[in-house]
Chains A and B, each alone.
Chain A
Amino acid sequence: MSARAFDEHPLQTVDTPGGDLVVAGVSKRYGGVPALSDVSLTIEPGKVHSLIGENGAGKSTLGKIISGVIEPDEGTLTLGGVPLVLRSPREAIAKGIITIAQELAIVPALTVAENVYLGSEVTRGGFVRRRESRRRFRELADHVGFDLSPDVRAGNLSTADQQKVEIMRALSRNASIVVMDEPSAALSSNESAALHEIIRSLARRGSAVVLISHFLSEVLSLSDTITTLRDGHLVRTVDAAGATEDSLIEGMLGRSLSSVFPQKAPVDESAPIVLEVDHLSAPGVTDCSFVLHRGEILGISGLVGAGRSELARAIFRDAKVSHGSVRLGGSNLTGHSPHRSIGRGLVLIPESRKEMGLLMGRSVKENISLSRLDLVSRLGWIAGFRERRAVSKLMEKTTVKAANMALPATMLSGGNQQKLLFARSLMCSPSVLIADEPTRGVDVGSKRAIYDLLVEMAQEGMGIIVISSELEEVLGLAHRTLVMRHGRFTADLRGDEMNEQSVLAAAFAETNAT
């Protein structure tokens, strides 16, 4: 209906004022809680302006105000001196302000090209001109250097490729301002490099790029200007040239972070083996074998799509295993249900906490006790007091910060949400924990808390597998690192062999040098 109106005014001809976007004294409250307080900044065309801060600092809120998703309670926006009132993302798009969101907005059933031109279809007389849109798509794909087929269903693509679709959608609209919220969180390092090149070329073309990112190295290498937010307040806006990672962290935390990773505890090589994976093959996984000792942290690295999460699911017996075995504490793990695996002492913290981990609308308490309600109930009847006592202990141990345990998970910051999954896992008292991307979308302070937790759990005798796209995370935590490529292990690194160079070499290796 409203899309029709758009067809008649193709976006390509929308006049895009190229002036400064001035945000003046903007405030936003959610249910009385200030998310953003009196923030003012200027976004200039042709520059990359980064917004950084811990989760809950207000950077995404600011991004959403700029892109018209939410309206500020106070303060004004002006674009090139003209007051800018955005009541919807649609109005922002009409002004040339395009957003690439943290959560992907892809229609899985439509093809790649249809997704790219969604809402701005190339039409004649109300009919979509398929050939023309395909031609334009190819041009655009060539221009940005993405290798995507226009006719594949978007739902069949990997997360990284779906993100490319979103980026192409933004580019197809000749944006004057592009807001990117955590664009590289789901990308592998070579894909990130391609994204960085696109961001730079956008700026060269005269667009302003607002980049919201947790990756400080990314922020430093791309930005012209960096604004740091803390608890909804603007800490400072600085020239990127004069900033360092330390100065940024100091601004975000209000203190300096002495070291990012906790001290590695030595692992006892003679400690009993808790998990033995033997020639395991499953969809996306080919012939993987390794052993995990008590108290050991094993890192699994590799590019996105290398089969890391698939391996985790196969070990967890949540995928059809075609060959090989998983031995847990000396006996074979059988059956095909997470229920059985958890009962045997194997727990998985899945890669996406919102889709696969938490019940976002339910309370902290319910989320934590879900896996082991049997511990706090008798004949199926939940003993309220015992449950609250157990949950409160686990919250303390995992340092979950929540006003109370009846709060829904959605009210918590990303870091605290992730800690809920750790609390739930701890309640299962597992012998093996697989943590898939344990700190994705988590702020710096919570990251450290999660690292401490992982190390502590290992010291208490758990065997831990950490899967991460952040190389430094694997290197900083693991006693031993396995690198995957195309579903196989390409390197098994320990001690001094573990460094960025050797991991990257194995992750990109063309031949299998096991």
Chain B
Amino acid sequence: MTNQTTEQLDPLHDSDSGDGGGGGLRLGGLRMLNSWRTAGIAIPFLILFVTLSITSQPFLHTTNLINILDQQSATLCIAAAGTLVLVAGGIDLSVGATYGLATVVAGEIAAHHSPVLAIGAAILVGLFVGLINGLIVTVFKINALITTLAMSFVIGGLAVKVSGGNLIVLSSNSGFFKFANAQFLTVPSAVWMTLVFVVILGLLLSRTAFGRFTVASGGNAEAARLAGVRVNLIRVVAFTLSGGAAGLGGVIDISRLLSAQAGSGGNALAFTVLAGIVVGGTSIAGGEGSVWRTGIGVLFIALIGNGIDLLGVDPLYQQIVLGVILLIAVGLDSWARQRRR
């Protein structure tokens, strides 16, 4: 009987495995919509999008939409990698500070040396911070929240040291400027890079052995370990990716804005990233989550900000709305986990 039922289902699964083919995407989409987590973010996002399209003339303009994406590039990259950390059962609050450090490192180097060196150094710094975070959390078994919070102070201090507390301003004719602002099909390279990065991380989580191990490590670390998953290694990699993404985000932003300051990013960015991930339906307790939903979550929050701007609503409501949405997202998550028991 078992055999029959699995057999019956197989044809559907087979066509799904047309790796990346049209059929795969369609069926994959269907399966994703089955999940309430998906509906929980996709439906509000669509409603908000349609509402803004109707109520605000400038909203649906290509320029406005590309602008939103351009502004959210760094946040999207960092949140995509942060999703892996959360799914693996950790949390990374140091991304804001790492982002700040990356911007000043890139700025200082780009002012005097080649842009490639600046970009490479900033991303390496991010990766290194992430690696340290991961090692402290796994080897010394210190709570990830405390570790990364403490690290954010250390890194924040380092960033001030690097920049001497000054605002770094770069000239717009350097090659460094092109890194995030080169136009391709009227879309800036920052958006393209973000798209590629998010897609890669999305596939990493959903389609690879590493992704499965990440989910297992966050869902039930003990079970995963006994099943032969190297939980510590997975977590170190997740933290390292998160740090690297913060470095990349920092480079993208300083290239976009041509100015850097040690305090930029900071805890506000770390919490915006976390909010995007959680609103996207990734479980704060680990073991459940998706990168593409995080993308929607980040953009959802960005749309609220954009809409409030465009409609001329008092900006203070943005915070209130964001707080309420966060509570709803976390509430839904814990409700779902209780129901599963």
Contacts and interface: CB of A to CB of B under 8 A. Distances in A.
Interface of A: 316, 318, 337-339, 341-343, 348, 350, 355-362, 366, 369-371, 373-374, 377, 380-385, 388, 392, 395-396, 399-406, 408, 410, 424, 428
B223 A361 contact: no
Contact of B207 (A338, A341, A382): A382
A399 B10 contact: no
12 contacts: A355-B222, A356-B222, A358-B220, A359-B216, A359-B224, A361-B219, A362-B287, A370-B228, A382-B212, A384-B17, A402-B5, A408-B340
A371 B228 contact: yes
- Residue from B2, B208, B287 having most chain A Cβ neighbours under 10 A: B2
Interface string B305-341: 0000000000000000000000000000000010011
A377 to B, nearest CB: 5
Nearest to B2: A401
A359 B220 contact: yes
Given A337-B225, A357-B227, A384-B17, 12 more contacts: A338-B227, A357-B223, A359-B216, A371-B227, A371-B228, A377-B208, A381-B207, A392-B7, A399-B2, A400-B2, A401-B1, A402-B5
Given A359-B216, A366-B215, A338 B225 contact: yes
B186 interface: no
B70 interface: no
Contacts of A369: 212
A339 B230 contact: yes
B244 to A, nearest CB: 18
Contacts of A380: 208-210
B3 interface: yes
A283 B229 CA distance: 24
Contacts of A343: 228
Interface in B1-17: 1-3, 5-7, 9-10, 13-14, 16-17
Nearest to A400: B2
State which size class the interface on B falls in: 35 or more
Contacts of A370: 212, 216, 224, 227-229
Top 7 A-B pairs, shortest CB-CB distance: A384-B17, A342-B228, A373-B209, A359-B219, A385-B17, A404-B9, A339-B228
Contacts of A410: 340-341
B253 interface: no
Interface of B: 1-3, 5-7, 9-10, 13-14, 16-17, 19, 207-210, 212-213, 215-216, 219-220, 222-230, 287-288, 337, 340-341
A191 B256 CA distance: 70
Contact of A366 (B7, B9, B19, B212): B212
B6 A395 contact: yes
A424 B209 contact: no
A359 B287 contact: yes
B226 A395 contact: no
B226 A350 contact: yes
A402 to B, nearest CB: 7
A369 B1 CA distance: 21
A374 B2 contact: no
A403 B4 CA distance: 9
Nearest to A379: B208
Contacts of B17: 383-385, 388
Contacts of A388: 10, 13-14, 17
Given A343-B228, A405-B9, A358 B209 contact: no
B287 A361 contact: yes
B288 A361 contact: yes
Contact of A381 (B208, B222, B223, B224): B208
B223 to A, nearest CB: 5
B228 A405 contact: no
A92 B34 CA distance: 37
A388 B7 CA distance: 10
A395 B227 CA distance: 18
B6 A405 contact: yes
- Residue from B220, B223, B227 having most chain A Cβ neighbours under 10 A: B227
Contacts of B337: 361
B223 A356 contact: yes
